[in-house]
Amino acid sequence: MDTTETEHPLRPNDVAMVLRPVFTEGEDWDGSFEIFITGVGPATLPEDNIRELISMTMLVATTIPMMEQDVDLTEKIMIECAKLYGEADDVDIQKMTVKDNGVLLTINSKTIGGMQ
């Protein structure tokens, strides 16, 4: 896995939410995306700790459909997001390029002792 180009390279035990754009015919993005919970192995934390990280990531992922339904919640989250992380326009997209063969965990994933 080559993550040397990123500011925050992925490491073993990392659990992340991935937003994968849905493309219509050709390369046109329709604005929608799929949400995946992914992890990077080998897992060195105990299985209970990995499950806690997965659970927290699932909670964060759950806010997306909730925000689509609740404009007030969306506004609150956007204000807090700007305070914590700044504006999306300020992100250096070039530093986010990752060549990765990561592991994808879904509700149907079967693992032994955490992420494999």
Domain ranges of the chain: 15-19+35-105
Please tell me the predicted confidence (pLDDT) of residue 62: 92
DSSP state of 31: E
Ranges of H-type helices in 10-70 = 47-69
Please tell me the predicted confidence (pLDDT) of residue 6: 54
Would the pTM count as exceeding 0.75? no
Please tell me the predicted confidence (pLDDT) of residue 116: 30
Contact 37, 105 (CB under 8 A): yes
pLDDT at 115 over 60: no
For tokens 């693992």, what's the residue?
Answer: 111
Quick one: pLDDT band at residue 3, thresholds 50, 70, 90? very low
Model pLDDT for residues 48-105, shown as the tens digit of each residue: 999 999 999 999 999 999 999 999 999 999 999 888 888 878 877 766 555 544 444 4
